[in-house]
Amino acid sequence: MRVCILITFAFIEAVSLFSSPRPALERPNVVILFLDDCGYGDFSHTGNPSIHTPNISRLVSEGLNFPQFYTASPACSASRYALLTGRNPARSGFNWVLGPKAEKHIHTREVTLAEGLKSAGYSTAMFGKWHLGNPNEANGFTSDALPLAHGFEYWIGSNVSNDYDPGANLIRSKAGGTSPVPGYEIIEENYAWNQELQGSLTARYTDEAMAFIRNNRETPFFAYVAYGMPHLPVHASKEAIGKSKRGLYGDVIEEIDANVGRLRSLLDELELAENTLIVFTSDNGPWIRFLDTAEHEMYGEARLNIGSALPFRDGKGSTWEGGVRVPGVFWWPGVIEPATVVREPACTFDVLPTVFAYAGVPIPTGRSLDGRDIRPYFNQDLYPEKLDSFRFIYTGASKNEVYGVRRGPWKAHVRLYSQTKSDYGFQASREKPLLFQLEHDPSERFDRASERPDVIKVLMGEIDHFESHLSSEGTFWQERP
Ligand SMILES: [Ca+2]
């Protein structure tokens, strides 16, 4: 008997040495994979016939797929703000895209995912496109504009999109660095035309994220991997070029897929899969403004180098569904059952309240949050609560103004905007909104406004409530002296 007990203790000790240091539900690691300008229909799991994305499909088959997933804005900066704060971009106090010379940036009073998780003992790092501010003459070269001021302990990536000429710089945080501001160094200045560098970044960001995960395997970590691709101009590495049936654009997406696979394999190798949540999504829809551009000085044959939002209308910049519908995949073997599909809508701004709940981080006070804690969608047995009906205020066109609203399956447009200048024969106003039942009619073809004044009344009430609350709450920028 005594021998048996000794063996048992020895076994327990051996198991504890080699198994994960934390129970699955306690402070999970978080990895967010965020693409730039991909289309909803650019992946094997969303039906693309010629782009092969087996690693993303594996996340889907092992995890949770939201076929009705939203990014919070059809534009880069606004959408990244919402992901990191859990708040509608209309609350940001800045315009939807922050160019290199923009005075404003994500305000230091915002509580970001990185800040919250850091407060709970996480190691935090970012790899990729920031696009939430730039130190420049207009803001007195403030370091508040860059990631270290917002909870990230390390960053390598671009300040803006990869096509700003001049203005797109590859930067990393560095103790003792001095450029563009103390704490950073510019690795490559004005890289928009540097094809070799552009083609190297998907792998480089992944390599750095993998090194970070290895170095922080014993503590909870947050890795925010914001690939610069497939934003125009698209570039892939030499190894990836020519591999896809879909041409260069497919090469770029397939290279992202291969790097998703590398990250996932590392979690297996380090035995961290049970403790790690991966979120895979994108900042906005495809840049169809260039659908008819056969030759572009920087973008090349742009019309073939942009993705597809099908089955949705329009793309980036627009509050038609193609601007804001994106892939939404959540993977966490310790909690999410394989091949879970949730056909209810959810949004990037749901990530913060959900992750904070798992990590034990209090929800930030003194501000409105738009995201919900969607843990019940991850596992109904663990979280039997019912979620509130989905509410989504579409904001867009440069100043993050209200363009529409969705509640349940119904969507009303009160303004229309498309970078292609097409309204598809429709008009919309506050007095005469358009109404679509998005689950019956995902491509927004049949206006039902005249049939359902009752629904219109409810939806307009949502907009009135949002706008009046927004104007009384203000933004952190307005409160500044
Ligand atoms: Ca984008």
What pLDDT does residue 158 have?
98
Query: What is the tens place of the pLDDT at every residue in 135-192?
Result: 999 999 999 999 999 999 999 999 999 999 999 999 999 999 999 999 999 999 999 9
Residues 195-202: what's their mean pLDDT? 98
What pLDDT does residue 7 have?
43
Question: Band of the pLDDT at 479, cuts 50, 70, 90?
Answer: low
Kindly give the distance from the C-alpha atom of residue 395 to the centroid of ligand 1, in angstroms, as a whole number: 15
pLDDT exceeding 90 applies to what percent of the chain?
Answer: 92
Query: What is the tens place of the pLDDT at every residue in 8-63?
Result: 444 444 444 444 456 667 899 999 999 999 999 999 999 999 999 999 999 999 99
Whether domain 391-473 has CATH 3.30.1120.10: yes
Residues 441-448: what's their mean pLDDT? 98
Kindly give the distance from the C-alpha atom of residue 159 to the centroid of ligand 1, in angstroms, as a whole number: 13
Domain ranges of the chain: 23-378, 391-473
Kindly give the distance from the C-alpha atom of residue 109 to the centroid of ligand 1, in angstroms, as a whole number: 24
Kindly give the distance from the C-alpha atom of residue 324 to the centroid of ligand 1, in angstroms, as a whole number: 10
Kindly give the distance from the C-alpha atom of residue 118 to the centroid of ligand 1, in angstroms, as a whole number: 26
Kindly give the distance from the C-alpha atom of residue 453 to the centroid of ligand 1, in angstroms, as a whole number: 35
Instruction: Compute the mean pLDDT over every residue in the chain, rounded to the nearest whole number.
Output: 94
pLDDT at 97 over 70: yes
- Among 98-112, 282-296, 440-454, 465-479, the minimum mean pLDDT is found in 465-479
- pLDDT greater at residue 252 or residue 480: 252
Kindly give the distance from the C-alpha atom of residue 344 to the centroid of ligand 1, in angstroms, as a whole number: 24
What pLDDT does residue 24 have?
66
What pLDDT does residue 334 have?
85
What pLDDT does residue 4 have?
44
Residues 344-350: what's their mean pLDDT? 98
Kindly give the distance from the C-alpha atom of residue 11 to the centroid of ligand 1, in angstroms, as a whole number: 51
Query: What is the tens place of the pLDDT at every residue in 260-272?
Result: 999 999 999 999 9
What are the catalytic residues? Answer: 76, 131
Question: Band of the pLDDT at 389, cuts 50, 70, 90?
Answer: confident
The three state secondary structure string of the chain is CHHHHHHHHHHHHHHHHHCCCCCCCCCCEEEEEEECCCCCCCCHHHCCCCCCCHHHHHHHHHCEECCCEECCCCCHHHHHHHHHHCCCHHHCCCCCCCCCCCCCCCCCCCCCHHHHHHHCCCEEEEEECCCCCCCCHHHCCCHHHCHHHHCCCCEEEECCCCCCCCCCCEEEECCCCCCCCCCEEEEECCCCCCHHHHHHHHHHHHHHHHHHHHHCCCCCEEEEEECCCCCCCCCCCCCCCCCCCCCHHHHHHHHHHHHHHHHHHHHHHCCCHHHEEEEEEECCCCCHHHCCCCCECCCECHHHCCCCCCCCCCCCCCCCHHHHECCCEEECCCCCCCCEECCCCEEHHHHHHHHHHHHCCCCCCCCCCCCCCCHHHHCCCCCCCCCCCCEEEEEECCCCEEEEEEECCEEEECCCCCCCCCCCCCCCCCCCCEEEECCCCCCCCCCCCCCCHHHHHHHHHHHHHHHHHHHHHCCCCCCCC
Question: Band of the pLDDT at 480, cuts 50, 70, 90?
Answer: very low
What pLDDT does residue 371 have?
97
Question: Band of the pLDDT at 6, cuts 50, 70, 90?
Answer: very low
pLDDT at 299 over 60: yes
Question: Band of the pLDDT at 198, cuts 50, 70, 90?
Answer: very high
Which CATH number applies to 23-378: 1.20.1530.20, 3.90.1210.10, 3.40.50.300, 3.40.720.10? 3.40.720.10
pLDDT at 1 over 80: no
pLDDT at 111 over 70: yes
What pLDDT does residue 23 have?
67
Q: Do domains 23-378 and 391-473 have the same CATH topology?
A: no
Question: Band of the pLDDT at 314, cuts 50, 70, 90?
Answer: very high
Q: What pTM did the predictor assign? A: 0.95
Kindly give the distance from the C-alpha atom of residue 37 to the centroid of ligand 1, in angstroms, as a whole number: 4
- pLDDT greater at residue 5 or residue 401: 401
